[in-house]
Amino acid sequence: MHYLVNNTQLNVLESGNGPLTLVFLHYFGGSAMEWQFVIAQLADQYRCVAVDLRGHGDSSSPETYTVGDMADDVQALTQAMGIQDFVLIGHSMSGKVALALASRQPAGLQLVLLLSPSPPEPEPISDTDRQEMLETHGQQTAAEETYAKITAKPLSKLIKAQIIADNLRTSEAAWNAWLLLGSKETISEQMLFILVPIHILVGTKDKALLPDVQQEMTLPYLPGATLESVDGAGHLLPWETPDELTIFIRAKVGVMCSNTELNL
């Protein structure tokens, strides 16, 4: 299903019902498809909404792609879909988007869950890696090499094909903008305004964003946030370890519900 927000057609996958909505956001070069196995396990209890961010997946490709633009899209989408109480679940690039949105204290936001998030500071990508990614985007070989780098657990041929396809169909504008602008943005001063609990999950074998990045560049700006890990997992937790991730989400949402007046 598509929703028009901020002059952008956003593709949305929706499943399940419940008073609490889980809003899933994907990694750089990914799509909402990465959440399908997690949503399949959670839709019995929650309304699950997974979004293709602008320029990714089946969403349209406008001109600008700042972290603020993407946060604007998600905020407008929650309003367009009539979402009230919700949890933001951001992965990698969209972890930064989720933090930016949470700092605005949007009505209804109860909790933020982050998977290997891009930190509030500029993301630690070497100039060499950044330039190589800029020059090789859209090339099958480069997409396959990226797949090998960002995964640590064996995946099926179908899942591998989906991950590579998502990489290749990311618009050039979105790809370049994240590498040249979004990943370099600093939003650390905004973190002071986040009022909801935050929990972070990483893979111990994540080579795209090393677990130390969270200790050194994310947690210092988020007092009270927790950090947990999945042993042997790489960067793509929703694809690699959906069962462990589902357990993590259920546990954190359950604690949140028990600590609030929400009857969810």
Task: Give the structural domain span for 108.
Answer: 2-258
**pLDDT mean across residues, the chain:** 96
Per-residue pLDDT tens over the stretch 56-81: 999 999 999 999 999 999 999 999 99
CB 202 within 8 A of CB 115: yes
Nearest to 112 by CA among 97, 104, 102, 100: 102
Is residue 98 assigned to a domain?
yes
Is residue 85 assigned to a domain?
yes
Rounded Cα–Cα distance for residues 236 and 234 (Å): 6
Rounded Cα–Cα distance for residues 51 and 96 (Å): 15
With bands split at pLDDT 50, 70 and 90, how would you rate the model's confidence at 257? confident
Rounded Cα–Cα distance for residues 105 and 193 (Å): 7
pTM of the predicted structure, to 2 decimals: 0.96
With bands split at pLDDT 50, 70 and 90, how would you rate the model's confidence at 16? very high
Is residue 7 assigned to a domain?
yes
Is residue 84 assigned to a domain?
yes
Quick one: pLDDT at residue 262? 56
Is residue 263 assigned to a domain?
no
Total structural domains within the chain: 1
Is residue 34 assigned to a domain?
yes
Is residue 264 assigned to a domain?
no
CATH number of the domain at 102, please.
Answer: 3.40.50.1820
Nearest to 248 by CA among 105, 116, 65: 116
